[in-house]
Structure 1
Amino acid sequence: MNTTSNKQYSSSSSLASSALQVLEARWVVPVLPQGMVLEHYSVVTSDNCILAILPQEQARAQYPSARIVDLNEHVLIPGLINLHTHAAMSLMRGFADDKPLMQWLQQHIWPAEKHFVSELFVRQGTLLGCAEMLAGGTTCFSDMYFFPQSVAEAAVQAGMRANIGLLVMELLSNYACDAEDYLQKGLQARDSWRDNELLSASLAPHAPYTVSNATFEQIITYAEQLGLNIHMHLHETRIEIEESLKQYGIRPLQRLESLGLLGPSLVAAHGVYLTEAEMTSLARHSCHIAHCPTSNLKLASGIAPVDALVKAGVNVVLGTDGAASNNRQDMFAEMRLAALLAKGASGDAESVPAAQALAMATINAAKALGQDNKLGSLEAGKYADIVAVDLSAVEIQPCYDVISHLVYSAGREHVSHVWIAGELKYQKLQGQAGIYADIEPAELKEISTEWQTRLSQYLA
């Protein structure tokens, strides 16, 4: 294989430059049009964008001076987009397993966060999460956590795209004392990275049960003035709905609609318990649902009605949630589980076919971020955020349908190359450990060891 040498790894901050290069692949799955597979095609990149997608011989003839990357047993896909996570909670992976959501939050996670969460915790935990996501083919993530400036710093170090949620809630934390404090600190952090093309921001009210009507009204005003999305948890558990009925006399979604919060800028994570009328309302307002199947199952929150949501016309995307409630930030696992759960829950084997599951992790997610003109598919003019998946491994042979293989057979361990803006940020050759462009494995090991010691002492 004609790949970058070890000497080149050490001579630059990235594994390979973003100069003119031709990625020659056995297959290219551009995602748009959905279901298309191009065989023996090349993706040509220059600077940070895709220049062209052409048959291999044509690409070689048209760009004779380009650097060739030989990927003759691989499929190229757009970078995966994780639309809901709390990356810093990688430091709490396996911290309080096998607990229902509210017990998990109130008795375990929130007390531990009060004890440990700081700028350092968030920066180091997010970097650990970025490393996991990169190695699994995720090039962009939508985060929601404390200290957004620290999230930004970690994402920039890793060279990843991030939509950073500016967390808002009424609860006192190590980060802020009240909703107004959350808002002002978040907006100040956002101002510091506004010119970085890798980063964007959303206003992130935690959930209806932690945010007042007055605060929601402020959030709507800021979102409209600044052109920001709104990213929040919604209808994750039955308890959330029951408490809303007791306190407000209406269900959470109805409350949000009455406040004017529903619209194409809203990304609602989970959406497990939705009536037919609520799904119709989400579709009418062009809202997006970030489906997190593994986390919902692990916390026994339930199974989102994805088949019905899709049929209602709601844009469904995928997220992992944090590693504390999932244990993995693995978008290949989420694609597979989302497709399987939709079939099992609906009784329809044709529900969420493989191509649709892949779209949920790519172009649908880009649409939810308002960035589908830049991300989510392999098209000339879009950012060169590209993932190569090696399909040569014996455990996933033979291969009859490439897209089906990506969703049902391949896993994150088969990711061999990850480019972001045309720069190679991660590479794993057969039989070798993965190499990051901008992250030192020794640093990750130190981070993991240090925080495991601290949290283990706390648990004891």
Structure 2
Amino acid sequence: MTTTPEAIDLLIEARWIAAVAPDVVLKNHAVAIRDGRILAVLPGSEARQRYLPDQRVTLEDHVLIPGLVNLHTHAAMSLMRGMADDLPLHDWLQKRIWPAEAAHVSAQFVYDGTRLACAEMLKGGITCFNDMYFFPEAAATAAREYGMRATLGITTLEFPTTYASDADDYLNKGLAVREKLLNQPLINFCLAPHAPYTVSDGTFERVLTLSEQLNLPIHCHIHETRQEIEDGQRQNGLAPLERLHQLGLLGPSFIGVHAVHLSEGELQLLAETGSSIAHCPTSNLKLASGFAPVARMRQLGINVGLGTDGAASNNRLDLFGEMRLAALLAKGSTGDASVLPANEVLRMATLNGAIALGLGDEIGSITPGKAADLCAVSLGAIESKPCFDPVSHLVHVAGRECVTHVWVAGKCCVDHKTLHPADQNDLESTIALWQNRLEVRWEA
């Protein structure tokens, strides 16, 4: 008896599939996709008999992985790429970044800068980003145009900017945007108090209440520099992390960004509370902030994802670079070559980030039932041969230039290295206009 093949939207056949969860590499398998979700993962020969796809993609020398999750960035700051190099964090912020933002940041700035960031991230296999910036509705518009998944921060500060006048204004404006965009399937929100040195106790308490009421993650810079810790102890009598703990913020909904300088007791506290960390190794090095104890975090079971930070302090939104650097720094700083093996680093760049954002049941692994957020990485070039372990190659050999295809919720956003539906000429002319404006400010 002949069985009629089942109609599906897309069948992707790949030489290797790195599913992440489970932690296996499948050879000559296929992913069946219908209505934007993964229907099945099965051997290619079986898939060809079982399914009748509207579209078939064959990846003969590729490894198919979950879409990468950028757990911390300031997307619109891509327009400031390379504008303030070779400065420590506080000089970088106070002497270059904040003055430039005061002169230029607007809804149009955020829309154009986020478009640039989305183009860069998608071409590098990033399908989801966790953003902390102003004018979140403009960022949402840009992400939606590119078909990208985004968690947008309801950014909060005590001082005025071109976006808002005080902490309550930041929160109220962000919450209004969230309410307006609740029906957008690829857009999520988190609460984003900037840092302990820019947010008061009262504002942190309101943020915690909102997090509990709305089931939103909290995304906050923490212990990035020694100066931040010393200033916090002098002003509050507590290290910033302990201050947040006493205020009740640490827990499974908390994402601490950077977390470079931590005592053993503070590491234990993060583990006990189930907090997550967004590790940004390139930004930490470029701003000379230090070396985060990621190997120890993982030993304690802390959920660690990877972030790029913004292009103003990195200067790339490149998670392949972050994976490799994270692995090498952990090995070199501990003297233990066995820490952060490639499969664990890939998990940090995918499922761990999704879990931190509360999206672990939706994305982060190639699992039936999840959204089809996928990235195809070619290992066919001569510089990628021989390949004994494709996951090792993802971390230690391949780069973002090896990404050929990207899907978000089953929709192709990058096809043979070409963005869809982006107008590259329009974007490039827009960037040139912003560069001229920012250069005038910088030179002045």
Bin for the TM-score computed over the shorter chain:
over 0.9
- The residue aligned with 1:202 is 190
CA distance in 1, matches of 2:398, 2:87: 30
CA distance in 2, matches of 1:259, 1:219: 10
How far 1:21 moved relative to its partner?
1.5
Tell me if the contact between 2:14 and 2:62 (Cα under 8 Å) persists in the aligned partners. yes
How far 1:92 moved relative to its partner?
0.2
The answer to whether the aligner puts 1:182 opposite 2:184 as a matched pair is no
Structure 2 residue runs without a partner (length 5+) = 1-6
The answer to whether the aligner puts 1:311 opposite 2:311 as a matched pair is no
1:305 to 1:419, Cα distance in 2 relative to 1, 3 A: same
Calculate percent identity across the aligned residue pairs.
54
CA distance in 1, matches of 2:49, 2:33: 15
The answer to whether the aligner puts 1:32 opposite 2:24 as a matched pair is no
CA distance in 2, matches of 1:19, 1:56: 15
Deviations 1:17-64 (A, max 9, x none): x95211111011101122x11000011111110010110110000013
State which of 136, 141, 158 in structure 2 corresponds to 1:170. 158
The answer to whether the aligner puts 1:237 opposite 2:225 as a matched pair is yes
CA distance in 2, matches of 1:21, 1:88: 33
- The residue aligned with 1:44 is 32
**SS of the counterpart of 1:233?**
strand
**SS of the counterpart of 2:256?**
strand
The answer to whether the aligner puts 1:349 opposite 2:308 as a matched pair is no
- The residue aligned with 1:442 is 425
The answer to whether the aligner puts 1:131 opposite 2:113 as a matched pair is no
How far 1:192 moved relative to its partner?
1.1
CA distance in 2, matches of 1:452, 1:393: 35
CA distance in 2, matches of 1:66, 1:53: 17
- The residue aligned with 1:456 is 439
Deviations 1:252-298 (A, max 9, x none): 01100111111100001000001111111111110000000000000
Extract structure 1 runs of 4+ deviating beyond 4 A.
none
Tell me if the contact between 2:68 and 2:126 (Cα under 8 Å) persists in the aligned partners. yes
Q: Which amino acid aligns with 1:71?
A: L
State the TM-score, normalized to the length of structure 2: 0.97
Tell me if the contact between 2:38 and 2:368 (Cα under 8 Å) persists in the aligned partners. yes
Tell me if the contact between 2:306 and 2:349 (Cα under 8 Å) persists in the aligned partners. yes
CA distance in 2, matches of 1:321, 1:67: 36
- The residue aligned with 2:3 is none
How far 1:70 moved relative to its partner?
1.1
The answer to whether the aligner puts 1:23 opposite 2:12 as a matched pair is yes
CA distance in 2, matches of 1:65, 1:44: 8
CA distance in 2, matches of 1:103, 1:253: 23
Tell me if the contact between 2:77 and 2:113 (Cα under 8 Å) persists in the aligned partners. yes
Q: How does 1:297-308 map to 2 (within 5 A)?
A: 297-308=285-296
**SS of the counterpart of 1:32?**
coil
The answer to whether the aligner puts 1:329 opposite 2:317 as a matched pair is yes
Alignment RMSD: 1.0
State which of 233, 247, 261 in structure 2 corresponds to 1:273. 261
State which of 140, 144, 158 in structure 1 corresponds to 2:146. 158
CA distance in 1, matches of 2:382, 2:393: 13
How far 1:67 moved relative to its partner?
2.6
1:43 to 1:65, Cα distance in 2 relative to 1, 3 A: closer
- The residue aligned with 2:4 is none
**SS of the counterpart of 1:247?**
helix
State which of 86, 90, 99 in structure 2 corresponds to 1:98. 86
How far 1:324 moved relative to its partner?
0.2
How far 1:394 moved relative to its partner?
1.2
CA distance in 2, matches of 1:316, 1:65: 37
- The residue aligned with 1:431 is none
- The residue aligned with 1:6 is none
- The residue aligned with 2:106 is 118
How far 1:435 moved relative to its partner?
1.9
CA distance in 1, matches of 2:430, 2:66: 30
CA distance in 1, matches of 2:118, 2:349: 17
CA distance in 1, matches of 2:288, 2:51: 53
State which of 44, 62, 65 in structure 2 corresponds to 1:74. 62
Deviations 1:353-392 (A, max 9, x none): 0000000000111110111111000011000001101110
The answer to whether the aligner puts 1:397 opposite 2:410 as a matched pair is no
CA distance in 2, matches of 1:160, 1:66: 23
1:64 to 1:148, Cα distance in 2 relative to 1, 3 A: closer
Q: Which amino acid aligns with 1:286?
A: G
- The residue aligned with 2:199 is 211
**SS of the counterpart of 1:348?**
coil
- The residue aligned with 1:292 is 280
**SS of the counterpart of 2:171?**
helix
Deviations 1:124-143 (A, max 9, x none): 00010000000000000000
Deviations 1:50-90 (A, max 9, x none): 01011011000001355321111111000000000000000
CA distance in 2, matches of 1:231, 1:154: 21
Deviations 1:84-140 (A, max 9, x none): 000000000000100000000000000000000000000000010000000000000
- The residue aligned with 1:376 is 364
Higher mean displacement: 59-68 or 181-190: 59-68
CA distance in 2, matches of 1:19, 1:272: 46
CA distance in 2, matches of 1:314, 1:30: 21
